[in-house]
Structure 1
Amino acid sequence: MSNTPDCPSADALLGGLDGLLTPPFSRRGFVMTSLMTGLTLATTSVEAQVIRTDAEGLEAGEVKIPAGDGPMPGYRAMPAGEGPFPVILVIEEIFGVHEYIKDICRRLAKAGYCAVAPELYARQGDLSTMTDAKLIIRDVISKTPDAQWMADLDAAASWAVSGARGDPARIGTMGWCRGGRGVWLYAAHRRDLKAAVAWYGPVGGERTEIQPRTGTDVAAEINAPVLALYGGADTGIPVATVEAARDKAVAAGKSVELVVYPEAPHGFHADYRPSYRPAEAKDGWARALSFLKSHGVG
């Protein structure tokens, strides 16, 4: 990407996440070289209400995204046409880019977006074969450096602009669960990000050498408005912790819009799981699309 007003250099986009961005960091080969098919094996059942979005009028499918150490698998969906299209970086849950995440990309494409979901855990483990969520967290999630995530999301954004008719002036992000945590971090990392939507992403948690900062830690440093969609019945993410992150951001002059659905549990948007709550998921989706467009990503 050339260093023009509409297409700034990579160095110009890096935020001040001291302790997070410390390149060069160690890389490893890709364990996953292609995406899984179907839904994650880690779900105990597939619910009847699973949403299936067709690809009519879209360009949709698996892609290879150039990364620093080879092609990273990902999924891209966008309208058929010349573009340029606003870009949404879709950040997965802990279960990989499975059919639910792919369908979200198609839903966004139907709304006019170039949606790209990179497989951010491709180096750490093969999520297509894993059935135990606790082992996924222990063996894959906890071993994936945040700096790697940021670099891979940047690579996905660059690819969307150069190879998928994405608009460099209209880049946003949306993530679920652990991906919601990534939304907070990426909003503090990328200076030209226009808007970010975090679905029930943890804002606290243990700090480690490779995951040194939490969502609350970086809340005062976000570069884009954040829409935070959370469940009041989420037993793993107390609403008070999200309110504290929001208040920290607002005190620093940043914009965070927090919406709490009082009766919704964690995972209320995940239509393939028993946690799915159709009314709250539908309302949150409508709010997310409206939020993106109101902040220049649409």
Structure 2
Amino acid sequence: MAAQAARLSLGVALLVLGLKTLAYLLTGSVALLSDALESTVNVAAALAALAAIRYAQKPPDDTHPFGHSKAEYFSAVLEGVLVVLAALLIAKEALPKLLRPTPLEGLGPGLLVSLLASGANGLLAYHLIREGRRHRSPALTADGYHVLSDVLTSAGVLLGIGLAWLTGFWALDPLLALLVAGNILLMGFRLVRHSVGGLMDEGLPPEEVEGIRRVIQERLSGRALEVHDLKTRRAGPRTFLEFHLVVPGRMSVEEAHRLCDELEGDLEKAFPGLVVTIHVEPESERQR
């Protein structure tokens, strides 16, 4: 279940934060500090994702007849904001050291600890993205891609610190931290953009809408006259579809109802999580 994946994310995030903090304490590297600061965001994001997923799974009620699935977008927006704040904190720590580079100590043990943390994060990212797609969970998917970005960032940091160690060019340490900050900032803006789109009832991508239209046309071939005013929106793991279906004037209410049931079944089978609403109209409503 999505909630189990979120709990796993929280546990691994706490472990990774501890390892990266230890790596920073062993070396004094501002680049490793930036890596640890990003992991504090992972912990906060995992907490938010777990809370949002639990709330989103609540069934519809009188005040929320369409369910609570949009709650996951609030978690993703919060994660994006936290990511931006982490980037600013990293830049604040790195800029002074860029002006006054200092040699680092204890790099061997520190880099080994950081490598272990990155390995754990890599496995977690793979699991979260897979489970997020499987459960159609924006919170889990966002968390997974955030952790994946953390893995890539850590790999770059480790490579750069290794080069600084070999060459003695210690300015690489704060330079890497600033590059990490820029990457994190970009990721934060992307997370916020995607989540705000969900909160604003942004429609599905054109390729998904085209897939829906194909299923409709295959089922309705020769049985209905027209489909128009097709609209889509996504709310967490659920996707909502509505459209107007024009049927021949001679078709009975029972026939039209049976046709709608068949069409809904085909659409829900082809697109799991789809909630379909069809408005049946007589031939006189056909668009010219």
TM-score, shorter chain, exceeding 0.5: no
Structure number with larger C-alpha Rg: 2
Structure 2 length normalisation: TM-score?
0.26
Q: Which has the higher strand share?
A: 1
Structure 1 length normalisation: TM-score?
0.26
